[in-house]
Amino acid sequence: MRKVSAALAAESAELQQLVLDVLGPAQRGALAFSLLRAGENPAQTPDLAIFIGNAPNFWERCRPALLRLARRGGRIVCICRAAPDWLGGVANGEILPLPEAQDARAMDLFRKSLLIRVKSVAAHRDDPAGPVPTRRPSGRLVGIGSSTGGPQVLLSILNDLPPDTCGILIVQHLSTGFSSRFSDYLDELCAMRVKQAENGEVVEDGTVYLAEDGRHLTVVRQPDGYRLRSLPGEKVNGFCPSADRLFESLAAQAGGSAMGIVLTGLGNDGAEGLLHLRQAGGQGLAQSESSCAAPSMPREAARLGGAEEQLTPAALAERIRRFAFASPHAPFRQT
């Protein structure tokens, strides 16, 4: 039987030694243990990852690796005195309070709590009836179109979404050759999986699909779910991929099960398609002009009537959460 794999990232050598002392030689000997620097990604996903620190910049450096581990199904224990707000929403994560060293009673409780969690990981891993994470076809879809200034806004929105949010399809106007690098960049920083869209794949919860440059991204409803179409085509509004094409396909294939959002950008791409989506029963939103690097795309979406409201990136993330997890949170159903 293989050992339970564990990784430890500590803000300081003192805090690292605290965890090692709590575990003790016997427990450390039962683990395949590795020590990480803050922000370092382990070569393989461990059964258990322990993060310990207090400084806000420590947690910000650890955030990409921590979210990536959570998405891959690893158990995470975060030890701190004041947890950042985003830490409470990490899947498979648990926060343990870090006691003062001189508080012997609290330190004893901390030691017992950490040991219980380490042992429970071993028991869960060896339990054949334990839950196996699965992906499911998305019953709701969110489409986003953005251009100038969009990458930072997209990162801000996606960072606020939990890993089991419904499938998200993105058209971001980028220079040729940058779409795969941008999807890899977002994937490192977000709780959801982010990838470049591939023709024919089923849209799944927990995944963000970025349109490839030079290919329009659309969807087709089929018996097993919404399938992506990523195909070359003529430019629309001067762009391929085009947000209008994405929104028009959501209107035709998903209707009231879809939400469309137009973010910062020059021109009017997405405005007509968002109107069609709203007319088909879907929801249409746009970024507030005051928060845009280039406000003309969301302004045109509002002027044509496709955008019901214009909101800040934080408010847009909240609306996506409400839409994705509206009761009932139904998976894809055949019709």
As annotated, the active-site residues are 147, 173, 269
CA–CA gap between residue 105 and residue 73 (Å, rounded): 33
Tokens of 296: 């003309």
CA dihedral 25, 28, 33, 38 (to 10 degrees): -80
Count other Cβ atoms within 10 Å, centred on residue 146.
29
The per-residue DSSP string of 165-216 comes to PPPEEEEE---TT-HHHHHHHHHHH-SSEEEE--TTPBPBTTEEEEPPTTSE
Q: Categorise residue 82: left if φ over 0, alpha if ψ from -120 to 50, beta otherwise.
A: beta
The per-residue DSSP string of 102-123 comes to T-HHHHHHHHHHHHHHHHHHHH
> In the chain, at which residue ranges do the beta strands (DSSP E only) sit?
4-10, 31-36, 48-52, 75-80, 93-97, 141-146, 168-172, 193-196, 207-210, 216-222, 225-231, 258-262, 283-287, 309-311
CA distances to 97, 107, 324 from 257, in Å: 41, 50, 10
**DSSP strand pairing (75-80 vs 207-210):** unpaired
| Beta sheet of 4-10, edge-to-edge order | 31-36, 4-10, 48-52, 75-80, 93-97
